Amino acid sequence: MGGAELPLTNTARSRSTHPRPLLLALCAVVATATFLAYNAYLSSITANATKRVQHVPLKAQRILAQCAALQAVPGPPENFLARDTSDRFEPGTRPTLIRNATLWTGARNGTEIVYGDVYMDRGIVKGIGYIPQALYAGVGDVEVIDAGRAWVTPGLVDLHSHVGVFSAPFLRGAQDVNSGHGPVLPWLRSIDGFNTHDDALELAIAGGVTSVQVLPGSANAIGGQAFIFKLRKTSDRSPTSMIVEPPHTLNGSEPDSSRPLRWRHMKQACGENLRRYGNRMDSMWSFRSAYNEARKIKYAQDTFCAKAEAGLWDQLEGEDFPESLQWEALVDVLRGRVKIANHCYEEVDLDDIVRLTNEFQFPIASFHHASEAWLVPDVLKKTWGGTPAIAIFATNHRYKRESYRGSEFAPRVLADNGIPVVMKSDHPVLNSRYLAYEAQQAHYYGLPPHLALLSVTAMPASTAGMSHRIGILREGADADVVLWDTHPLQLGATPRKVWIDGILQVGADQEAIVIGKGKEDREFQETPRVPNWDKERRNAVKWEGLPPLTPAKENGRVVFHNVGELWVRDDSDELGIREVFNTLDGELVDVVVDGGKISCVGKHCMGGINANSVIDLRGGSISPSLMTFGSPIGIEEIAGEVSTGDGATYDPFKVEVPQVLGDPGGLVMAADALQFGTRNAHIAHRAGVTYATSSLSKTTLFAGPSSIFAGLSVTFRTGAAHALERGAIIKHITALHVVIGRAAPYSTTPWASVSTQIATLRNLLLNGQPTSTETGKWFKKAAQGAIPLVIEVGSADIMATLINLKNNIEQARGSFMKMVFAGAAEAHLLADDIANANIGIILQPIRPFPNNWDNHRILAGPPVTNETSLTVLTDAGVRVAVGVLEAWQAGNTGFDVQWAALETNGRIDRKQAHALVSTNLEKLLDVDGWIGDDGDLVAYEGGSAFDFSSKVVAVASPGRGVVELL
């Protein structure tokens, strides 16, 4: 393996005592030696050893070749980078020259930046930097792209994806990710379930992702073999042709000793996902008994080969080479030829697997999810064969008990300990399309920029044994290249063009799709400035992932120095937000806050006097706080732990509502289920999201919504200590919520038909239950327009039905309903009708994914489409707001709207973007009057709510007379 290599200590190669060329030469000699030569060789040694003539069997040569092959170590041929044509080259592909680019190559540990050109031909990068014309002069028909100095990187590599085996849209027939046939299944192969029609393939490429490791699921201790796929559609359309360097075992169990061995890949998992097969002790025994099987076979092979190689054929008479098709993959693990991706979260689990690797002596390539890896660097370093890479999410934590101590600071802590960091999607858990966002957030929270870029390119590639050809830009590597609109670590960075194997996948017609408009400022081409998190990071480690998050409170005077911008809530403004001042690089001013209220703004406030606290915002801003909507934030602590939430409500469509409740609809109030001080609420609060509206709707990615009747929502303050604290509850009953849609494909409980749901809604709104019941009372109020009716709905067809229903009810009752569609992935198809019907839209989530059938007609946005749902609906005149689905996402609300605004190519300004998660949301939910001009304000240091460089440092609460210092 020539050229630069990333630091990786977990390869079998680094342990090998033989230099590779010598070893290969040895294998070749042994494999091609003739029968006669062996005969002579054997007679000479056996004469002394056994004093009798051995009967050399006819198959001796084959056996000796097989034995010699056991010594082979996987890896590319020595001269790999000198190849002329890629094995993946598609004839007819034009050579391409990208001129005048800023190239982040991934070399020199990610620190190399080259200003110049990239030349691609025959599926390979043929030149980087200065490209002499001679290189392409004779070739003819070269496609020339002028990059205008824009950033170019290698295609991104997602080390953890279930694309193809968990396909979008989710349908029962297209889910081949987990086998339920036992805890140990090393003989299964993810390729056998790979669906080439997954909608996510094209979307991931649109995010610059060119290669992924397709892993079986994590429901088994040993879940099966994984494969490295390139995402482009190949000319023969088969999954097989998408695999990068298919291991020789893929199409025959005989190793082919004439070619260098290729890496194999395997999925393992530990911890709570294996509950169906027992507890942690059971799963560790299933590992040990499986590896013991493999070890016995390996030992038998080695003994057999030692005899064969010593010429003791008589002792082998009647014996075959010991092997087992079922266990051969695990034997290869023990021979160090398999890159294991091990799902493993907690200290106990990581320790268990590290112990296992030492007992059976095999390496682990990467630990995945690994929420507590950052807390046990020394344990990781004891892994047999070297320290694994750690493949994690940036901010997706606390969704299950095992991930409760996950931290946004983990990438930096791991890197500080010299541990390779990989950011991954676990697609479709996170959309692989946004893999770059994981790196961007890791950078925001402290991972140095070169490591952040490596974490989605060369690091995952080398972890998978593929860095000789993917995840890196160098001569001889695969022509997988991304041309970005901004620096790739800028929030919302979007590929203008993506090539895989030199074939253009994205951006064929530069005129057709507008990308990067509004990002002309030179700053977008630079590495984003990010806040300093040293204090928070140290605290997180000290408290083992659970640092106290309650802010200090200040009732007296607080002075904010060097304020660059001040926005306040103002009812008289059309958007409800007024800019008080914006220095636009002019003189910064002071803002004095007394008892939570702004008392003076300007250069000459006498604020320094009697200030209890002085905060330097370094040109930052103060603006109205944000609201989160749509997740069970405040209703549950850990999504996967039912005992930390409200529990299941009695949905009348599913179960009999208990008589004693006295209400046929089982309609209940979220306010009664509120919990304060949950970590997700605290984290949202610290990110400037100080208000939340939660209903009892709970939608999980795989099981879908939990109920059709989702109760009456409550609006509360995320930073409050308990319900009785002043200002904790903004509005006890905010809106009436229902979920209307087709059954989620993997839901295990029966689901009423869409027609039944609509008929019920019609009945309740038109005739109604007696108003003596909760159901009767609140549906009547909704029909009269006295309370918003929020309908979670994705399908445009169902929305059309609901628009008709609304018209009928309004005509019959002479009312105006306040109807809101939440979710609304397909709302863009009906934008004008939604506007005419005066229905508000909460895009939830803002970046759509075609998960369920009801959501499958998404508007993907640049670089796939010009428009996004946001631009189409806003242009039609619909009031639009933005929500999230899961409670951990509430803390990323600011990122979501910054990014949404960037995606509109400058068509939505910062004030409009802010309104999406503040005043628009408040108006749609009818809580604007309840928050009022006295609503919370958030102080950002080093930028505004719309800068990736800023950090929330304080929340001023005029209504409560307090400033919270974070």
Interface positions with ligand NAG (CB under 6 A): 7, 100, 108-109, 148-149, 246, 251, 511-514, 866
Residues with Cβ within 8 Å of residue 511, at least 6 apart in sequence: none
| Residue with Cβ nearer ligand NAG (149 or 722) | 149
Closest distance between ligand NAG and the C-beta of residue 279, in Å? 39
In order of 341, 353, 383, 560, 753, the CA distances from 360 in angstroms are 17, 11, 11, 60, 53
Shortest gap between Cβ of 512 and ligand NAG (angstroms)?
5
* Beta carbons within 8 Å of 400's beta carbon, 6+ residues apart: 272, 638, 639, 640, 641
In angstroms, give the least distance from the CB of 593 to ligand NAG: 44
Q: Which is nearer to ligand NAG, 139 or 514 (CB)?
A: 514
- DSSP character for 253? S
- Closest distance to ligand NAG from the beta carbon of 905 (Å): 8
Closest CB to ligand NAG among residues 129, 148: 148
At residue 157's C-alpha, the angle toward residues 151 and 160, to 5°, is 145
Cα torsion 877, 881, 882, 883: sign: negative
Q: How far is the CB of 109 from ligand NAG (least distance, A)?
A: 4
CA distance 64 to 71: 11
Q: What element of type H or E holds 226?
A: strand 222-230
DSSP-based three-state secondary structure for 309: helix
Q: Residue number with the shortest CB distance to ligand NAG?
A: 148
Nearer to ligand NAG, 98 or 687 (CB): 98
Name which of 583 and 866 has its Cβ closer to ligand NAG.
Answer: 866
Q: How near is the Cβ of 438 to ligand NAG at its closest, in Å?
A: 22
- Judged by beta carbon, residue 506 or residue 740, the one nearer ligand NAG is 506
DSSP string, 322-377: P--TTTHHHHHHHTT-EEEEEEE-SHHHHHHHHHHHHHHT---SEEEE-TTGGG-H
Nearer residue to ligand NAG within complex by CB, 429 or 470: 470
Inter-residue contact 133 to 100 (CB < 8 Å): no
Closest to ligand NAG by CB, 729 or 829: 829
954: nearest Cα among 563, 560, 578: 560
Owner of token pair 């979008």:
168
Helix (H, G, I), strand (E, B) or coil at 828: helix
Helix (H, G, I), strand (E, B) or coil at 944: coil
Using an 8 Å Cβ cutoff, are 407 and 374 in contact?
A: yes
Please report where in the chains the tokens 């008990």 appear, as a residue.
401
Q: What would you report as the CA-atom Rg of the chain, rounded to the nearest whole angstrom?
A: 31
Which CB, 133 or 659, lies closer to ligand NAG?
133
- Least distance in angstroms from the C-beta of 252 to ligand NAG: 6
Report the nearest approach of ligand NAG to the CB of residue 867 (Å). 8
Residue found by looking up tokens 């039609």 in the block: 876
Q: What is the rounded distance in angstroms from the CA atom of residue 20 to the CA atom of residue 846?
A: 51
Which C-beta is closer to ligand NAG: that of 251 or that of 748? 251
Instruction: Note every long-range contact of 583-590, with CB atoms under 8 Å and residues 24 or more positions apart, other chains counting.
Output: 588/561, 588/562, 588/563, 588/564, 588/619, 589/563, 590/559, 590/560, 590/561, 590/562, 590/563
Residue among 407, 391, 964 at smallest CA distance from 720: 964
CB of 259 to ligand NAG, least distance (A): 9
User: Which residue number, 253 or 763, has a Cβ lying nearer to ligand NAG?
Assistant: 253
CB of 541 to ligand NAG, least distance (A): 21
Instruction: Give the DSSP H or E segment for 780.
Output: helix 774-784
Beta bridge partners of 153: 482
Q: Least Å distance between CB 335 and ligand NAG?
A: 20
Q: What is the DSSP string of 520-583?
A: -SGGGGSPPP----HHHHHHHHHTTT----PPEEE-SEEEEEEEEEEEEE-TTSSSSEEEEEE-
Q: Least Å distance between CB 186 and ligand NAG?
A: 20
List the structure tokens of 411. Answer: 């990438």
258 or 358: CB nearest ligand NAG: 258
Contact criterion met (CB below 8 Å) for 457 and 156: yes
Specify the residue, 110 or 719, whose C-beta has the smaller distance to ligand NAG: 110
Give the residue with the Cβ less far from ligand NAG, 492 or 719: 492
Which residues, in sequence order, are CB contacts of 194 under 8 Å at separation 6+? Answer: 164, 165, 176, 214, 229, 239, 242
Count of beta carbons in the 10 Å neighbourhood of residue 798: 20
Strands 209-214 and 704-705: unpaired
**Least distance (Å) between residue 155 CB and ligand NAG:** 21
Q: Supply the minimum distance, in Å, between the C-beta of residue 752 and ligand NAG.
A: 39
Nearest to 765 by CA among 824, 711, 821, 810: 810
Closest CA to 422 of 453, 391, 468: 391
Q: How many CB atoms lie within 10 A of CB 661?
A: 14
Q: Is 158 left (phi over 0), alpha (psi -120 to 50) or beta?
A: beta
* Residue 8 CB, nearest approach to ligand NAG (Å): 10
Q: Closer CB to ligand NAG, residue 239 or residue 958?
A: 239
Listed in sequence order, the residues at least 6 apart from 522 whose beta carbon sits closer than 8 Å to its beta carbon are none
Give least dist CB 900 to ligand NAG, A: 18
CB of 245 or CB of 922, closer to ligand NAG: 245
Q: How far apart are CA 845 and CA 792, in angstroms?
A: 12
Which is closer to ligand NAG, CB of 514 or CB of 703? 514
Give the residue with the Cβ less far from ligand NAG, 7 or 278: 7
Backbone phi and psi for residue 404, each to the nearest 5 degrees, phi listed first: -65, -30
Question: At closest approach, how far in Å is the CB of 148 from ligand NAG?
Answer: 3
Q: How far is the CB of 727 from ligand NAG (least distance, A)?
A: 46
